[in-house]
Amino acid sequence: MKKFSLFTSMALSLSLFSTYALADQVEDRAAYMAHVPASILVLPPINESPDTRATNSFWATVTPPLAEAGYYVFPVTVVDTMLKENGVTNGFDAQSIPLKKLKEIFGADAAMYLKVKQYGSQYQLIDSVVTVEVEAKLVDLNTGALLWEGRNKQRQGSNDSNNSLTGMLVSALINQVSNQVSDTGYDVSRIVSSNLFYVNQKKNKGLLYGPRSPKAVQNAN
């Protein structure tokens, strides 16, 4: 397999997250309708949280909601293997690869760029709270046009108000240890992915339906 240069035009690629203001709702669908992607390459997320599990845990949850929305999604394991074979071992380096090179290597129509802002559990006196916050944007690999962007944040606590104060303290501590061992953040990540990419035509949130979805005709409405 042909090796590729990772750092050519890196400055352009690194600006992708800073160039666009992320929002929960995107009203202008013109760019998407002009470059409707049939296939999406989901790059490994950039992890800004202190939890080293964030990248792989969240990355693993993205394929199902995108596929259900009507897109072909390149298998994460295949993408991960190809990147590592070329010396790319983290989200930062993966998202620094020029768009043209991603198109050449994978042949995808668009790339999904993810950034994990928060991930993991935090002990808060009488509660152990798991928080996952993610920013996402979809970029056309042929033109560099921003097709969609969004963000979602979910918090899951363990507090049971029926317990005594001592019981809640003990429960929170146990859950904090359990979260660190079992990675409860993965379960919350699945909720974040589902909400982030859920197609909601009425509220104009989430991605539009992909061309593989029988509901794609609703995009023009």
pLDDT digit string, tens, across residues 84-123: 999 999 999 999 999 999 999 999 999 999 999 999 876 5
For residue 61, give the nearest of 182, 179, 186, 152 by alpha carbon: 186
**Within a domain: residue 221?**
no
**Within a domain: residue 209?**
no
**Within a domain: residue 163?**
yes
Residue 20 pLDDT exceeds 50: no
How many angstroms separate the CA atoms of 212 and 47, rounded? 31
**Within a domain: residue 61?**
yes
**Within a domain: residue 219?**
no
Query: Residue 187's domain spans which residues?
Result: 13-199
- Are the beta carbons of 117 and 134 closer than 8 angstroms? yes
Tell how strand 110-124 and strand 46-47 pair up: parallel
Q: What is the pLDDT of residues 32-59, one digit of tens each?
A: 989 999 999 999 999 999 999 999 999 9
The CATH number of whichever domain residue 153 belongs to comes to: 3.40.50.10610
**Within a domain: residue 59?**
yes
The structural domain count of the chain equals: 1
**Within a domain: residue 210?**
no
State residue 38's pLDDT score: 96
For residue 58, give the nearest of 157, 151, 175 by alpha carbon: 151
What's the token pair of residue 9?
A: 């035009």
- Where helices occur in 27-135 by DSSP H, the ranges are 30-34, 54-59, 63-68, 76-85, 91-94, 99-106
**Within a domain: residue 4?**
no
